[in-house]
Chains A and B, each alone.
Chain A
Amino acid sequence: MAAEGAHQSNTKKIWKVFFILSLITIVEVVLGIFKPDSLHHVHIFGLSLLNYIFIILTIWKAYYIMWSFMHLEQEKSSFRWSVAGVLGFLCVYLITLVLIEGNYVYDVFHNSQYKWIF
Chain B
Amino acid sequence: MGATVTTAATKENTWGGGNEPLKVSYGKMMMWYFILSDSLTFCGFLVGYGFTRYKFMDTWPIADEVFNHFPFLHGVHAPMYYVALMTFILIFSSVTMVLAVDAGHQMKKGKVATYMFLTILGGLVFLGSQAWEWKNFITGTYGAVETRGGSILHFVKGEGEEAKQIALSDFAIVDANRDEATLTRGKGTWFLKGPSAPTYSIEEIKAGLLANPDIKIRTQKTLENAETGRRYKEVLTREQSVERINDATIVVEGANLIRNEYGHKTFGDFFFFITGFHGFHVFTGILINVVIFFNVLLGTYQRRGSYEMVEKGGLYWHFVDLVWVFVFTFFYLV
Contact = CB atoms under 8 A, between A and B. Distances in A.
A35 B58 CA distance: 19
9 contacts: A10-B102, A14-B95, A22-B88, A79-B23, A87-B43, A94-B44, A98-B51, A99-B51, A99-B54
B332 interface: yes
Interface of A: 2, 5-7, 9-11, 14-15, 18, 21-22, 25-26, 28-29, 32-33, 35, 37, 40-43, 48, 51, 54-55, 57-58, 61-62, 65-66, 68-71, 75-76, 78-79, 82-83, 86-87, 90-91, 94-95, 98-99, 101-103, 105-106, 109-110, 115, 117-118
Interface in B47-86: 47-48, 50-59, 64, 79-81, 84
Closest 3 CB pairs of A and B: A102-B54, A41-B229, A118-B149
A94 B94 contact: no
B149 A115 contact: yes
Nearest to B32: A83
Given A6-B105, A32-B332, A37-B228, A58 B22 contact: no
A98 B46 CA distance: 11
B141 interface: no
Interface string B91-111: 110110111011001100000
B329 A40 contact: no
B132 interface: no
A95 B50 contact: yes
B59 A117 contact: yes
Contacts of A33: 79-80
Given A14-B95, A76-B24, A87-B36, A106 B230 contact: no
Contacts of B22: 75-76, 78-79, 82
B147 interface: yes
A64 to B, nearest CB: 10
Contact of B88 (A25, A41, A48, A106): A25
B26 interface: no
B151 interface: yes
Contacts of B314: 69-70
Contacts of B322: 62, 65-66, 70
Contacts of A41: 227-229
Nearest to A18: B95
B40 interface: yes
Contacts of B328: 28, 58
Contacts of A43: 229
A76 B29 CA distance: 12
